[in-house]
Amino acid sequence: MTPEDRAAGSPALPALFRIDGQVVLVTGAGRGIGAEIALQLARAGGELVLVSRTASELREVAARIESEGGRAHVRVCDVTDSARVRAVIEDLPCLDVVVNNAGNNIPEPFVEVSEAHLDALLDLNTRAVFVVAQAAVRKMLRHPDRAARGGTVINISSQMGHVGSPNRTVYCMTKHAVEGLTRAMAVELAPRGIRVNSIGPTFVDTPLVRRIVDTPEKSRFILSNIPAGRLASVTEVAAAAVYLASPAAAMVTGTCLRVDGGWTAQ
């Protein structure tokens, strides 16, 4: 920080990464990336609303947050149930940040994709993302001081929202759609004080990815495409979410923060 910044009363950088007093909803918060994002946003001062289908997992995450002095609320909900997820969000007294994290992948050759798999991934990875974002923004806009308070939508996308990859046609399609949604929302909502961004991770070291990357051949293919030479960690993805949710990113909207070890730079 320059002397001019200090003279102007600019906050120290650590303070810019705080979200004290903000209510944060995270979908898919029971495990993996979602659980870590929830934990780190709680550490940054957020009051968390944890959403997923599995109550026991949500209670474990909430207990961890509360053991560190944070606040967390459990809401059991399948995000593909539009009526239920809209009701959960509408019932909140306030909402400032939503992290659209719930998602899935079913790797298989394009010609073998079943309509059941196609529908399942479209419903979860694209339609539910839209519904959650729409319900959250409607809630945010009803706050009487929203323009000054601001609001943030973070869509967890993927590096596959920017490239193509074999055996991932449906996943790539859904994540490209999320990137388009993110940009269009950002342009429309910026004048109303709401920022919208996405995070595009590479393969992250989670139980889900370990089940997918289950042979030496698959591991070699993945690591050969990551210049950094390794999988990402859940904490590295969560750090991006903390930044995008915080005042440090006050002029960042309509962009994708790619946590991909260089995959899409090639």
Does any domain span residue 262?
no
Does any domain span residue 13?
no
Give per-residue pLDDT as tens, 93-140. Answer: 999 999 999 999 999 999 999 999 999 999 999 999 999 999 999 999
Asked if the model's pLDDT at residue 5 lies above 70, the reply is no
Q: What is the pLDDT of residue 145?
A: 86
Angle between the N-to-C axes of helices 55-67 and 32-43, in degrees from 0 to 180, rounded to the nearest 10: 30
Residue with tokens 């729409």: 134
Asked if the model's pLDDT at residue 10 lies above 80, the reply is no
**Contact present, 109 and 157 (Cβ < 8 Å):** no
The one-letter amino acid code at 248 reads A
Give per-residue pLDDT as tens, 191-236. Answer: 999 999 999 999 999 887 888 788 888 889 999 999 999 999 999 9
Give per-residue pLDDT as tens, 177-188. Answer: 999 999 999 999
Does any domain span residue 14?
no
Q: What is the pLDDT of residue 182?
A: 98
**Domain containing 126: what range?**
20-257
Asked if the model's pLDDT at residue 1 lies above 50, the reply is no
Does any domain span residue 15?
no
Asked if the model's pLDDT at residue 7 lies above 70, the reply is no
**How many angstroms separate the CA atoms of 199 and 183, rounded?**
12
**Contact present, 259 and 201 (Cβ < 8 Å):** yes
Q: Answer yes or no: 171 catalytic.
A: yes
Does any domain span residue 247?
yes
Mean pLDDT of 64-85: 98
Does any domain span residue 8?
no
Q: What is the pLDDT of residue 68?
A: 98
CATH code of the domain covering residue 143 = 3.40.50.720
State which H helix or E strand residue 259 sits in: strand 256-259
Domains in the chain, number: 1
Q: What is the pLDDT of residue 12?
A: 83
Mean pLDDT of 78-89: 98
Query: Where would I find the H helices in the chain?
Result: 3-7, 13-16, 32-43, 55-67, 82-90, 115-121, 128-141, 146-149, 169-189, 207-212, 216-224, 234-245
Catalytic residue among 48, 103, 171, 260: 171
> CA distances (Å), 78 to each of 11, 51, 84, 115, 260, in order?
40, 8, 8, 21, 28
> CA distances (Å), 125 to each of 8, 117, 172, 173, in order?
44, 12, 10, 10
Sheet with 71-76, edge to edge strand ranges:
71-76, 47-52, 23-27, 97-100, 151-156, 194-201, 256-259
Q: What is the pLDDT of residue 213?
A: 82
The pTM score is: 0.94
Does any domain span residue 119?
yes
Torsion sign, CA atoms 106, 112, 116, 119: positive
Q: What is the pLDDT of residue 244?
A: 98
